[in-house]
Each structure stands twice: as structure tokens, then as C-alpha cells.
Structure 1
Amino acid sequence: MAGPRVAYILLWFPERSQTFILDEVNTLARLGLDLAVYTLYGPSPRPLTGLAPVAVPVHRLGLASLKGIFTENLRLTKDWGAPVRRFLLKVLVRQWRSLETAGEALWATLAGVHLARRFLAQGIDHIHAPWADGPATAAWVASQLSGIPFSFCAHAHDLYPPDGALKDKLTAAALVRAVSGENQAFLAALAPQAAAKIVKIYYGAPLTAAPKPPRPFHHPCRLLALGRLEPKKGFAVLLESCRLLQAQGVDFHLTLAGDGPEMKTLQEMINQWGLGRRVTLPGFVPHNQVPRLLEESDLFLMPSVILPHGDRDGLPNVILEALGHGVPVIATPVNGIPEAVYPGDTGWLVPPGDPVSLAQAIREALANPGEAQRRGLQGRELVGREFNSLKNYGRLKACLEGAIR
């Protein structure tokens, strides 16, 4: 007997800044889940070099589908009657966080109407959205109109601050996945009636074949930070720490890899503070080159901050990748990060937005390379226990299948 058919709804897929989603989809397929991806937009406009091949069918909507979906919405909402029209209006009049999210919600609603009919015709048994914002809105609409159960996952930017429909989505979903205990508690407090169906399932990360053998730190010490260059990553704070370290005569070199809206600002800071010999901004690094960067690094840095409007990191997968390579991590206690970075055990935690404390932690690690490497090895063991891809995605597969019954 064939297993259940699951539809994954995403904005884009694959996306080079979301390789953990690609890993999730491919691993679930490898575990035997009959899965297909439906994207609300067309192909990603960004280059996709260095990504693993996609192992499942991908169906794209986007601008090419706009006229057909709009016409179909007019016809179907008329055919389905007043209750359906009232539900769709209820979705659209929610208090959205910005004009951008309101536009995303509008398109997600229109796409959800289209997908409801499509999923029924294709025999889909369950709908899942890996993000709590637009994809979950589309899944909610499609579920309400088709009767097919849906679930969604909550991370960071899709959760903080919550959108105006999040409570409704929590109530209506058959299952909600939180990627950290911190997120699980936040969601349960937001919708106590849904607490029993909110489950914590971490993402997974690869382990190196063998632990890194102890070795002296490089001279100069090699620091690595990796992520999208945006304010919540705290990279401006990191550069302030580098300015302090340079003034204190610390011998180091930082590779700050990634691209994003802060690229120009960060480069200007490097120039202004004379950090050109100490800091390199190589731009975006394809995911298949990240292991080499980690292997060549002595310390990994993730100085995340919480922005005034609430946006923050969740539990960045790159932290798990660093720990999986045995690289000691210095980070901040934002959201789910303390669930992987334990002070004195797998790394260091410093207050967000505090360049002095960050510089001090870097100096402490450099002064005690043996202790730093011990913490890196402890982190590798933690990844093997708690962030094992096959174990965690196997649990997710079981939860998705269980939500259908």
C-alpha cells in the first residue's frame, strides 16, 4: 500500500540561504516520504551554485500563474459560496506586519485557493509549510477549503514579531513544528489551546567523519563568521570587537562570509577602522565550500542581536555545522542558540550587542586553545546526540504521517 502524499509549500525552492530546507526535503524523500514541493513564486532569482540536487518534484506558481490564479479565484469563490468568501476575507483583514507581508499574505491566499483544488485532484493527504508566514497562510487556506490537514514550522523572521494570523494558524493546524524549545514555549504561550500539538524537532547537521585532532591555533588565529549580512546577525558588533582586538595587539584574521543588505556598510566600517588586513569579506560562499572554511578555522562567531521590532535569529544551522566540525563557537543567548552553545561546555555565550564582551571571549579562547578545542569536541558530540539529521527528520516524517490519521 502506498504511503501518504505530502505537499510542501514554500516561497522559493531551492534557496541558497536555506540549504537546511533542501536537506530536510531530500532526507525525508530518502526516508521514503512521498513528497512534492509547491512554490508560491517562480524560480529563485539568485544563483544556486554549490547546492545538492533536488530529489523531489517541484511545481512553481509565480507571475506566470497570476492571471490564471486570479480568474480561478473569482470562479471558485463564487461556486463555493458565502462561507468561503467570509473565510478568505477574514484572512485578508488581519493586521499584517508591513506592506510587504500584507502583499505576501494576499498572494498566499490567492495561491491557497488554487492549491486547494489542485491538491484534491492530485490526491494529496497532507499539506506542510516549513515557514510560519506566507507558506503557512497558503497551507491554512488550502486546508480550510479542501479539508486536507496541514502543519507548519516556525523559525525566526516568520515568528518575531508574529503576523496577524498566527494564532488562527496555530489553532487550525494538525501539527506545529518548533525548531527550538524557546520557539515552542513562545508558540504555546501565544495559543495555549494548541500547546499539545506543538512539537520541538531540531534541524540536523552533518558530522565530520572523525573528530578534529588537537592542533595549535593558526598564526594569525583564523576566525570565521558566516551568514546573511543583515542587522540581526550582529556583524557590525563583531567588527567593533575586531577594532578592539586590533588595538590590543591581538593577532587574528576574520573571514566574514555572506551577502546581503549590510555588505556596503560593513565594508565601510572595515575601511574606516583600518581593518583591511584583519578582515576579509569574500561575499557569498556556495554551501559546498562551507566545510572547507570550517576545517580551516579556529573559532566560529555568531554575534546575533534582537532588533527593535523583535526580529531575531532562531537557531542558525551554521552554528550546528560548525559544532559538527568540532569548531568551538562564540555566540549570544538569542532565541534557541543556548540550546546548542553551552558556556563552558560547547562554547562561549556573550551578551548581544556587546563588542567588549565579545572581544574578551575571543581573547579567552585564543589564550586557551586546548580548552577551546575541548569545547569544540563537546559540541561535535552534542550534534551527534541532539542534531542528528536522520533521527530528527525520521521523527518529523512520523509526525507528518501521524497528523493525517
Structure 2
Amino acid sequence: MKPRRKIVVVLKGYPRLSETFIAQELLGLERAGIELVIVALRRPTDAKRHPVHDEIKAAVHYLPEYLHEEPLRVLRSVLICLPRPDFRRALGALIADLRRDPTRNRIRRFGQALVLAVEWPDGAGWLHAHFAHTPASVTRYTSLLRGQPWTCSAHAKDIWTSADWDLADKLGSARWMVTCTKTGFDHLKSLANGSSRVHLSYHGLDLARFGNFEGWRAAHDGSAPEEPVVILSVGRAVEKKGYGTLLQALALLPRDLAWRFEHIGGGDQLDRLKALAEKLGISARVSWKGALAQEEVLQLYRRADIFALACRIAADGDRDGLPNVLVEAASQRLICVSTNVSGVPELLTDGETGLLVPPDDPAALARALERAIRDPALRTRLGNAAEQHVREHFDHMSSIGQLKDLFEQEWQAAR
């Protein structure tokens, strides 16, 4: 019997401006001939959406974000699943999880899985989760409820803020798991006891959307107040992005150096960062642009002189994997100044394709920024090298091909 090749993809929220890499992967899989159904745990909250979302053909279904908001839908799912033979096995997994993590969140994920198991898309035969925390929990419970195989794409926060026992259980249950940085791969591999079910797959960039920048950048060196060097950053205002460190570094730059900082993104710490810029006396040089669509961000990459992102490890262990915005900026010949955290050194090599400093070190970051501001030739050299590296090693079609091959291997084995 030929296995059904329609995949249910479980996401935390959809669509999201901050998860372009997921959207481009979904579109790539569709174009590779795989039929998808998107199931999201949350409805969209962003006012804008990227063009790639409009190109994805997959139907989108939303589970109850909170069980009490749709009690009849949840109750119906419980009553239908209760007599099924797989219900006990799934319930046993929930009880085991609750013993180690007695939270309402666990019960909510089980309830969402019950709804998905009952409202199963017609013709679907596979489950795939994006992120190894809550989406993978819903996916694993649904897999147990329906006897469907499942797989997972792990990224950053989901790896580093999840308990090792939770990740190990999911690795033992999933057919395979892919992740997008060597540091994440090594961690998951250790939890899977070296199992070959863990794969490294850089999600890369859709280079058709980020074509070669044929323009030129002026050789400003920070000496003329009327020609400031533009420093750009794209990212949510959250702890792991290190914007507090970046603002402190900007405040340490020599007062006679001409620069302007532009930030793109939302985030719950935005007001705090604006207050910090005011306190540091640099608010007149800072522009807060909020969340923008992809085509608007691309134009700002091309107008900027430097891209900066001060990635760090947050107090709860959360950190970036390999921020897609660094890959995007590098694709536009834009010199990147960042930190040697997590997967960033897998893209940037200090002095060759970018400038890297330790995290949480405003003085070191300020020195790197000043060096880049004063030396336009350095910006050109490192920006060109970074673009070449991205176009040779970070084409997202490589990742799409790898994922398609992994799914094909499973389907061939099931025949």
C-alpha cells in the first residue's frame, strides 16, 4: 500500500513575521511536490505578513489556544477519543510528563492534541512539528492518539529552554529530528545517545528573494556629521538579542563620530530599550521602525552601512541558533558585527566574513563598531566575503532537498 504523502505541519503560530525561514521552507516543500496542511496553536498577531505567506497553498487550521475558550470543541474530542485503543497510551505519556512537569500547559497541549486527532485532515499520513517545545508536545501526543509517525525541526529557544528529559523523550518517540546549528545538533545528539536520527540542516536563505545587490555604498567614515554611517539591526526586542548591550556600545563610541542606528522589529522590551537610549543620551541618533514586511527590510539592508546584532544567552538559557537576519544582511554585501554565541560563528568568521566579539561586552562591541565605522574599505571587503559565503553555503534549496530526502526515505520504507 502506498503511504499517504500529505504532511500535517504543527506550528506555534502562523503566519509570523519573525519566522520567515519556516515559511520559505514550507513553500519549498510544496514546490518540491509535497502536500502540506498547516496546524497552528495560535492565531496571527502581526499586523503585516510577508509575501511568501501568500504563495503557500496549504490549508491552515487553528487549534483552541486555550481550552476554556472552546469547551464544546474540546469536550467533543475527549468523548470521541476516550474509547479509542490508543487513548490509554497517550494518557500514560501525559501522566508521566505531569509527574516531572505538573503544569497546566501540559494539559493544554494534550487537549489540543485531542482536537487535532479528531479533526484530522483528510488524507494526511504524517506529522511534523516546527520547534521541539510546545508544538512537538502537541505533535507527540497526537502521534500516540492516532498511531501516526512524526518528525520535528528544532531551532534555538526550543532546544535550550526545554528540559533534557523532555527532549530525550521526544527524540525517542520521533522518527527523526533536524536542527539548524552545529551547537544544537551536538546537544540533541548527546541526548539521543549518538543516534543517527538527529540531522544538521541549515535552513539557509531564499536567494531568489534576496538577489545580488548591484548598488554601491558611500565610503562614509564617521568624520562628517552630515554623512553619518548607518548601523542597522533587525530583531525582536527580547533578552537574547542583546539590544541593551548594543545600545551601551553605541553610547561608548567617540562623541565626534557620526553614526545613526536603525532598529526594525517589535518585542516586549521595546519601551525599556527606548528609555535606555534616552538615559544613555543617544536617543536622537536612534530610529525605532517597528515590525516591517520583508520587502521593506530588504531595502533597508541595501541602504545601511553596517549590520549589528549582539546575540547573548538569556537568564533562562534561551539563545539564538543562527539568526536568519544575519544571513539576509550578509547576502546584501553588508558587513555584520555580532557575537560568538551559538551558531553565529558557523556563518561569520572574525576578520574574514564579519566581526565577532564576546557576548555581554559593550566595550568590545564598541571597538568593533568603531573599527567598521572608520574603515569603509574593511566594510566592503568583509561584506563582499560574507555575501560570497552565503551564496555558496546557505542556499535554502539545500535544506529543502535534505528534508524531502528524509521524508522520501520514510515513505519508501513504509511501502
Fold shared, TM-score > 0.5 on shorter chain: yes
> Does residue 23 of structure 1 match 2:44?
no
The question of 1:268 aligning with 2:275 is answered yes
Residue 109 of structure 2 aligns to a residue whose secondary structure is helix
Give yes or no for contact 1:50–1:289 (8 Å, CA) kept in 2: no
- From 262, 267, 288, give the equivalent of 1:255: 262
Where does residue 156 of structure 2 map in the other structure? 156
2:9 alignment partner AA:
Y
Alpha-carbon distance in structure 1 between the residues aligned to 2:401 and 2:105: 31
Which residue of structure 1 lines up, in the alignment, with residue 396 of structure 2? 389
Map residues 88-237 of structure 1 onto 2, 5 A cutoff: 88-95=94-101, 102-119=103-120, 122-163=122-163, 164-192=165-193, 195-207=195-207, 208-212=210-214, 215-218=217-220, 219-237=227-245
Q: Which residue of 2 aligns with 1:59?
A: 61
User: What is the rounded CA distance, in whole Å, between the counterparts of 2:326 and 2:192 in structure 1?
Assistant: 29
State the shift of 1:246 in Å.
Answer: 4.4
Shift in Å, 1:110: 1.6
Displacement of 1:318: 0.5
CA contact (8 A) 1:156 1:314 kept: yes
Equivalents in 1 of 2:183, 2:396: separation in Å? Answer: 20
Cα deviation for residue 22 of structure 1 reads: 1.3
The counterpart of 2:349, out of the listed 329, 332, 342, is 342
Partner AA of 1:351 in structure 2 = P
Partner of 2:223: none
Compute the displacement of 1:213 (Å). 5.4
Look up the SS of the partner of 1:11 in the other structure.
strand
Residue 89 of structure 1 deviates from its aligned partner by: 1.6
Aligned residue-pair number: 396
Q: CA deviation at 1:12?
A: 1.4
Q: Tell me what 1:45 maps to.
A: 45
- Residues 270 and 39 of structure 1: is their aligned pair in 2 closer, same or farther, counting only changes over 3 Å? same
Q: Percent identity?
A: 28
**Matched residue, 2:36:** 35
What is the rounded CA distance, in whole Å, between the counterparts of 2:219 and 2:74 in structure 1? 58
Q: For residues 128 and 50 of structure 1, do their structure 2 counterparts lie closer, same or farther at Cα, with a shift above 3 Å needed?
A: closer
3-state SS in 1 of match to 2:253: helix
Question: 8 Å contact 2:151–2:174 — kept in the other structure?
Answer: yes
Cα-to-partner distance string for 1:200-253 (whole Å, 9 max, x where unaligned): 111121434335455433421010011000111100111101111143x22111
- State the one-letter code of the partner of 2:238: E
Distance 2:80 2:245 in 1: 53
**SS in structure 1 at match of 2:159:** coil
Q: CA deviation at 1:66?
A: 4.2
Superposition RMSD in Å:
2.1
**Offset of residue 51 of structure 1:** 4.0
1:235 alignment partner AA: Y
Q: What is the alpha-carbon distance in structure 2 between the residues aligned to residue 366 and residue 36 of structure 1?
A: 47
Cα drift, residue 84 of structure 1:
4.0
Partner Cα separation in structure 2 for residue 114 and residue 310 of structure 1: 32
Q: Distance in 1 between matches of 2:214 and 2:252?
A: 30
In the other structure, the counterpart of 1:293 is 300
- Kindly indicate whether the alpha-carbon contact (under 8 Å) linking 1:91 and 1:109 is maintained by their aligned counterparts in 2: no
Secondary structure at 2:359 match in 1: coil
Give the match for residue 99 of structure 1: none
Contact 2:128 2:139 in 1 (8 A): yes
**Equivalent residue for 2:331, pick from 324, 330, 351:** 324
* 2:377 equivalent to 1:376: no
TM-score under structure 2 length normalisation: 0.89
SS in structure 1 at match of 2:82: helix
With over 3 angstroms needed to count, the CA separation of the structure-2 counterparts of 1:25 and 1:264, relative to structure 1, is same
In structure 1, give the amino acid aligned to 2:98: L
Structure 1 residues 291, 3: closer, same or farther in 2, change over 3 A? farther
Answer whether contact 2:73 2:115 (CA < 8 A) is retained: no
Q: Secondary structure at the match of 2:289?
A: strand
* Pair 1:398–1:66, CA change in 2 (3 A): farther
Q: Is the 8 A contact 1:206 1:324 kept in 2?
A: no
Mapped contact 2:24–2:206 kept (Cα < 8 A): no
Which whole-Å CA distance do the structure 2 matches of 1:384 and 1:3 have between them?
35
Report the residue type matching 2:74 in the other structure. Answer: I
Q: Secondary structure at the match of 2:230?
A: strand
Following the alignment from structure 2 to structure 1, what is the Cα–Cα distance between the partners of residues 219 and 82? 65
Q: Distance in 2 between matches of 1:189 and 1:311?
A: 19
Matched to 1:40, the amino acid is L
Distance 1:333 1:106 in 2: 38
| Residue pair 1:212, 1:326 contacting (<8 A) in 2 also | no
| Per-residue Cα deviation, 1:244-281 (whole angstroms, up to 9, x for no partner) | 1143x221111022111111111111112221222111
> Does the CA contact (< 8 Å) of 2:12 and 2:40 recur in 1?
yes
Q: Is contact 1:12–1:39 with CA below 8 Å preserved after alignment? A: yes
Q: CA deviation at 1:191?
A: 2.3
Displacement, 1:65? 4.5
For residues 73 and 381 of structure 2, the distance between their equivalents in structure 1, rounded to whole angstroms, comes to 59
Gaps of 5+ in 1: 97-101
Q: State the alpha-carbon separation in 2 of the partners of residues 104 and 26 from structure 1.
A: 31
Alpha-carbon separation, structure 1, partners of 2:230 and 2:373: 10
- Quote the residue 1:245 is aligned against: 253
Q: Is the 8 A contact 1:257 1:281 kept in 2?
A: yes
Partners of 2:49 and 2:19 lie apart in 1 by 13
Unaligned runs of 5+ in 2: 221-226
TM-score normalised by structure 1 residue count:
0.91
